[in-house]
Each structure stands twice: as C-alpha cells, then as structure tokens.
Amino acid sequence: MVQVPSTQIPGVYHRRIGDIVVTALSDGYLDGTVEVMQNIAPAEATRMLADKFRSGRRTSVNCYLVYSAGRLALIETGSGDYLLPTAGKLQQNLKAAGVNPADIEAVILTHMHPDHSAGLTNPKTGEKFFANAELVVHENEPRHWRDDAAMNRADDRARTLYFQCAREQIAPYHNQTRTFSGEVEVFPGVTSLPLHGHTPGHSGYRIASGDKSLLIWGDIIHVPEVQVPRPEVTMAFDTDPQAAAATRRRTFDMVTADRQLIAGMHVHFPGFAHLVKQGDDYLMLPEPWDQGFDG
C-alpha cells in the first residue's frame, strides 16, 4: 500500500547570499479578518483577495536564520503559543533544520509584536527558548513597550497582547539585551535599516556578502495581495499608520530602483522575492524554489 501523506513537510528553505546562508523557517500562518486593514473598504479588500484566489486574509509568519562567519543568528522568533494554533511552529522547524536553539548566539528582532517576539520565552515557565542568545533590537522598541503612559493609552487588547506580552517575553533576556539605533552592523554581514512607522523602532536588516545582498524588510507588508498594489493600505495595529505607509512606499521605491532581493516576515513562505514597478503599479515576483541551492 502506498502511504498517503497526512502532514506537511517541514517549513525550512535555504538561500545563499554570497558566503552567508540564510535559512527561512516557517512559524506557520495566521488567518484573520479584512477589517484590520485601513484605507480600504472590507468588500474591496475581499474582492482583491478573491481575484488572487485567496478566500480570506492569510498572513504567513516567517523567521530567518543567518549563518555568517561561523556564527549563527536568528531573526525573529514567531508567535509562540500567543496567537493561533496554525502558528508557533518555529521550534519544530528549527529541529527539522537540525539546529539546537542553544547554538544561536543572537536573536535579532525587527520589532516587538507577538508574531515576532512571543517565541522568545516559554510563558508557562518563564524560561528562555534561546539559552545562550543575546537579544538585539532597536532601542525604541523596549522603550516603547515598557512605557506605562503609552500602555495606558492603548485599548485592552493591545495592552495585553502587545505591551504585556513584550514585557514578559524580553524580561529573561534583561542582562543580555543589546539595543542599537540607525544603521549598525549588528552581526557579521547584517546591518540594520530603520523602517519606522509600523512600530517606533521597526527595522529591516540588510545581509550582504561580496556582491550579493538581501533586505529582510520585516513588516513592510502584512497582506501582499492588497498592500503591494495598494501601499496606502495600513493595519489597525500600526503604531503610526501614516508613517508606516510612507515607509512602505519609500521602501518599495528603494528596492525596485536597486533591484534588491527582499524577504519579509509576512511574504508567503519562504518569502524571498523581488518587487518591480510597472507604470505606477508595483508587482511582487516571488523567487522560484532553488533545488540546486546555488544562490
């Protein structure tokens, strides 16, 4: 009898960037309503999704390992068990990739939202998932999420899901946190790029080796089917929606002009793609699977 598969293969994909290897790890996906999108009527968003054969808003959650100069870093930790059971798969995919979390020297965050930072710490035991890692993040992030005045201004959901979660998740890393601002080489070949707006310290990371480079752009988009053609569409959870939209457009223009390879936390897994401009319209071209792993 032929054994019919009943579970998906692990969400692991390697990509060479010069001498650096970047491994995409899926944390899973999050399905949600279109109502969180702003500057667009829900019916219009639903129509745009349906035109692309999507029955609703599905957001991939990706994390990226960086193997550079004999060292290992992880960009983002996924959502742990804070959100939906369709996500929180980082640890199982790390295992499938043959990685011991204790070997990760640095956990680098684009920002502190639960789909990025809730995989840092086990909420039940308070234990770190990455025993030996330094936590690397833009200085505005812990500052904002630890700000009691900002927390009091937030609604109940944001207070628990964002502020409380961020505080709990980073607490065990208190003595191993390195903050930065601006453009800094945070790990060999990995340089931060301020892309503020979605959150106050939201940052991308440019990975460069020789003449090859990749921009991991964090949350420049959450819903590719809608926000690539309509960069003005913002999300209810953008800290500063206007700044988020301006940063998105600026980033789109930069990566199209530079023909820059990008990867995104919410670009469908594994999330490597180029963006091109056709007239006034942007178009996303996901990279094909590279079985040769040639880069």
Would you tell me which residues interact with Zn ion (CB under 5 A)?
115, 219
- The least distance separating Zn ion from the CB of residue 268, rounded to whole angstroms, comes to 14
Q: Which among 82, 93, 100, 124 has a CA at the least distance from the CA of 7?
A: 93
211 phi-psi bin (left φ>0, alpha ψ -120 to 50, beta other): alpha
**Cβ 215 to Zn ion, closest distance in Å?**
16
How crowded is residue 174: how many other Cβ atoms within 10 Å of its Cβ?
9
Cβ-based nearer residue to Zn ion, 196 or 209: 196
Contacts (Cβ under 8 Å, ≥6 apart) of 46: 34, 56
Q: Which is nearer to Zn ion, 111 or 230 (CB)?
A: 111
- Residue 223 Cβ vs Zn ion, minimum distance, rounded to whole Å: 11
Query: Minimum CB separation from Zn ion for residue 5, in Å?
Result: 30
If the CB atoms of residues 219 and 238 are measured against Zn ion, the closer one turns out to be 219
Q: How far apart are CB 164 and Zn ion at their closest, in Å?
A: 17
Residue 115 or 238: the one with the smaller Cβ distance to Zn ion is 115
Q: Which is nearer to Zn ion, 27 or 219 (CB)?
A: 219
Closest to Zn ion by CB, 63 or 65: 63
**Looking at beta carbons only, is 115 or 141 nearer to Zn ion?**
115
Opening angle at CA 174, ends 79 and 73, nearest 5? 55
Shortest Cβ 37–Zn ion spacing (Å): 14
End-to-end CA distance of the chain: 39
d(CA 114, CA 125): 18
Q: CB of residue 206 vs Zn ion: minimum separation in angstroms? A: 19
- Residue 212: count other Cβ atoms within 10 Å of its Cβ: 14
Contact at 8 Å (CB) between 36 and 232?
no
Task: Closer to Zn ion by CB, 115 or 225: give it.
Answer: 115
Rounded to a whole number of angstroms, the minimum distance from the CB of residue 259 to Zn ion is 25
φ, ψ of residue 158 in degrees (nearest 5): -65, -35
